[in-house]
């Protein structure tokens, strides 16, 4: 029998649709996609890609912590960029937030993201 719980924190943006910020099943936490919303204002923080990426990882960190984990517990990340010329920038921001060994990852260019965001990241954490 699995042990399932919904994770909810006001330190990360509230869900903007019909989903939970994260769902925990036993020791595994499925982290919903974070876009660069300020958790208080629920507005995109900046038009600058690097600032958006920092906000996304800050939001993901808050959800990890609400599930009693941390970014270092993330085993897989999926990144979505509306412009793959920001690939180098996202690697730099990840190096600010993550320590080696880094999680497994995919990075994909997409046409559009919710609220006009330039970047979204979602992943899986094992605690
Ligand atoms: C922002 C999202 N995670 C969504 O719309 O699913």
Task: Output the pLDDT for position 1.
Answer: 74
Residues in CB range of 93: below 8 A, 6 or more apart = 50, 53, 54, 57
Task: Check pLDDT > 80 for residue 62.
Answer: yes
pLDDT, tens digit, 9 for 90 and up, residues 21-55: 999 999 999 999 999 999 999 999 999 999 999 99
What is the C-alpha to C-alpha distance for residues 29 and 125, in angstroms, rounded to an integer? Answer: 5
Domains annotated on the chain, with CATH: 4-126 (3.30.1330.40)
Distance 26 CA to ligand 1 centre (A): 23
- pLDDT (mean) for 60-80: 98
Task: Check pLDDT > 90 for residue 80.
Answer: yes
| Pocket (CB within 6 angstroms of ligand 1) | 16-17, 19, 32-33, 35, 114
- pLDDT (mean) for 73-90: 98
What is the C-alpha to C-alpha distance for residues 91 and 9, in angstroms, rounded to an integer? Answer: 27
ipTM of predicted assembly, 2 dp = 0.91
């Amino acid at each position: 029998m699995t042990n399932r719980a919904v994770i909810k924190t006001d330190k990360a943006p509230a869900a903007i649709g019909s989903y939970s910020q994260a769902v925990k099943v036993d020791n595994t936490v499925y982290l919903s996609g974070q876009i660069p919303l300020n958790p208080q204002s629920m507005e995109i923080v900046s038009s600058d890609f690097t600032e958006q990426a920092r906000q996304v990882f800050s939001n993901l960190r808050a959800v990890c912590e609400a599930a009693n984990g941390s970014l270092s517990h993330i085993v897989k990340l999926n990144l979505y960029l509306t412009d793959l010329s920001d690939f180098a920038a996202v690697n730099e921001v990840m190096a600010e937030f993550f320590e080696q060994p880094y999680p497994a990852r995919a990075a994909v260019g997409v046409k559009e993201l919710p609220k006009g965001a330039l970047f979204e990241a979602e992943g899986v954490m094992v605690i």
